[in-house]
Amino acid sequence: MFEETLMSLLSWGMSKSPMFVSVFAVMGLARSINKILMPFLSQLVDLTETKKDNELLAKMLDSKAYKAISFLLDYSLSIKLPKKDA
């Protein structure tokens, strides 16, 4: 039931506005890149000899802007499944 509703919503969105699909594709790509890039960058800065890049990455990860963007990407593009009654 849920899948049918979702597919009909996506089909409607694609037929009415191709921009609808493009926006979600870009958001999904951004979320995927964010999830892969941050652990990679953390490992990379740990391997370098200088500590300045570690401090710069830590400052960026602690910034309100990064946290807000990361939260919005995760929240808006996470699949929320309905809870099943046990």
Q: Which amino acid is at 51?
A: K
Q: How confident is the model at residue 86 (pLDDT cuts 50, 70, 90)?
A: low
Taking CA atoms, 86 is separated from 2, 3, 8, 60, 82, in Å, by: 19, 21, 29, 42, 12
In 3-state terms, what secondary structure has residue 54? helix
Rounded CA-CA distance 27/76 in Å is 9
Domain ranges of the chain: 18-77
Instruction: Say whether pTM exceeds 0.85.
Output: no
**pLDDT at position 65:** 92
Distance CA 85, CA 19 (A): 37
Q: Is the pLDDT at 12 greater than 90, yes or no?
A: no
Tell me the residue length of the chain.
Answer: 86
Question: Taking Cα atoms as reference points, which of 62, 40, 39, 59 lies closest to residue 51?
Answer: 59
Note the pLDDT tens digit of each residue in 22-81: 877 787 788 778 788 888 988 999 898 888 989 999 999 899 998 998 888 778 776 666
